[in-house]
Amino acid sequence: MISAEEAQLLLHQGRVAEAERAFAAILEKEPNNVQALNVMALRSLRTQDLKTALSHIEHALRMDAKHPLTLYNRGRILEAAERYVEAAASQRAALKLAPNFHAARLYLARALDLAGQRHHAIVAYARALEDAQKDGRWLNQATTPPAFRPIVETAVREVKLGRRAAIEELLRPLVAEFGRASMTRIDRSLRIYFKEETPPVSDPRQRPTFLHFPDIPANAYVDLKLFPWIDSLEAKTGEIREELLSLLPTAAGREPVFGSAALEAEHLRGLDHAPSWNGYYFYRHGERRPDNCDRCPRTAAALEALPLCKVREHGPEVLFSVFTPGTHLLPHRGVTNTRLVAHLPLMVPDDCSLVVGGEEHRWREGKIVVFDDTYEHEAWNRSTKTRVVLIFDVWSPYLSAAERSALGILIGNISDFRHEVEAAD
């Protein structure tokens, strides 16, 4: 009689019939052999003898109740028996023991779908795909075993269809208010997001990391004539700077822009001293900071008069941005060309610059600059003094009111879904 190891090798070689005969012989000698019980259960599953399949798999579980592969195979057998809720529970039990068991999560998703829990199924499909692809699996046919290709293709299709349907439903009131034609570019941006359409490339330097919106002129620096509020805000530079100076002597309301030492090490460099990038935030991740707004009421009022890019949990980011001497923010990119970044320079010593798309800009106090941060950009303070600019996010002036509303909805929904996927058990 060949050993279990030799029988397993036959399975890996695709010699299934020989392997099953070998495991059947092993099971006769060792009736409690968990590996043999699993193989025999799968043989019975393949021949639709579900009663025998369940008998073998339950026997295996009695021998080892915490065997992830046995729980996974039990889930597949229960699914074939149309016991979908129990099948999902078995796959969850396998995942609890082996969180990176990608196949178990994939079959969990299918069991949920068959049980009528479509939204939970889509979340599970998305999590299964994401986790596997992080490990270099299921990226294409070459990285997907033939036996898994149909269910992986189903997962990709179901996630895309489910996400599109959810977003369409949320946008329905806007379609009713503004007309279907108002969503033409929104529809195209979604096709780009779901990789159904190639992003238009008018300037190869522009590469959004998240959402590319079509038919917006691509420029590293944006013409200030497009913003009717520029002159009014620049006229308030003196009073805004005065409120800034009242904050600088104290740490109250100040916080690091990067929330960890690891991120600071990745994005910042210093000359003679350790770099430091801190901010007095008026908005962070879309949340208004009332303390700093109360400390700087004239600045806060001026900001509220602007077309700030307000998206729940995302934007705007508005802050007095403080670079200590010698600080260099390394090149990086922003997430979407629907949002632009504006700087009102307040304290700018010599040898300070902003570079966007390879084009250098030297800040001038009181003179606003607006740029598209989906171009690679960096900034530095090579002086011996502190540099401060007021940073704020505004909508692209090329967007309609309907498109701004739609973007707020779909970005918020994509974010909600991401949170669900990350939290999926």
Helix (H, G, I), strand (E, B) or coil at 413: helix
Domains of the chain: total: 2
| 24 part of a folded domain | yes
pTM score, two decimals? Answer: 0.86
Contact 88, 75 (CB under 8 A): yes
pLDDT (0 to 100) of residue 188:
96
CA 216/CA 212 separation, integer angstroms: 9
pLDDT (0 to 100) of residue 158:
95
146 shares its domain with 280: no
255 shares its domain with 381: yes
- Of the three residues 161, 176, 205, the one that is the final residue of a domain is 161
pLDDT in tens, 48-62: 999 999 999 999 999
Contacts of 314 (CB under 8 A, 6+ apart): 285, 286, 411, 412, 415
Give the range of the structural domain holding residue 364, as residue numbers without chain letter. Answer: 224-398
Contact 26, 4 (CB under 8 A): yes
pLDDT in tens, 71-127: 999 999 999 999 999 999 999 999 999 999 999 999 999 999 999 999 999 999 999
18 shares its domain with 139: yes
- Of the three residues 125, 142, 161, the one that is the final residue of a domain is 161
pLDDT (0 to 100) of residue 1:
66
Contact 286, 309 (CB under 8 A): no
Identify the CATH number of the domain in which residue 379 sits. 2.60.120.330
261 shares its domain with 376: yes
pLDDT (0 to 100) of residue 11:
76
284 shares its domain with 137: no
Identify the CATH number of the domain in which residue 41 sits. 1.25.40.10
| 235 part of a folded domain | yes
268 shares its domain with 369: yes
Q: How far is CA 257 from CA 181, 183, 241, 254, 267, in A?
A: 40, 35, 20, 9, 11
157 shares its domain with 243: no
138 shares its domain with 231: no
| 231 part of a folded domain | yes
pLDDT (0 to 100) of residue 24:
81
Burial of 355 (0-12, 13-18, 19+ CB in 10 A): middle
Residue 347 pLDDT > 70: yes
Residue 328 pLDDT > 90: yes
pLDDT (0 to 100) of residue 6:
78
Residue 7: CB atoms within 10 Å: 23
Burial of 189 (0-12, 13-18, 19+ CB in 10 A): buried
pLDDT (0 to 100) of residue 99:
95
- Of the three residues 110, 129, 161, the one that is the final residue of a domain is 161
| 266 part of a folded domain | yes
For residues 138-153, average pLDDT: 93
| 190 part of a folded domain | no
| 263 part of a folded domain | yes
| 205 part of a folded domain | no
| 126 part of a folded domain | yes
122 shares its domain with 228: no
pLDDT in tens, 375-395: 999 999 999 999 999 999 999
147 shares its domain with 269: no
19 shares its domain with 130: yes
Contact 38, 44 (CB under 8 A): no
242 shares its domain with 383: yes
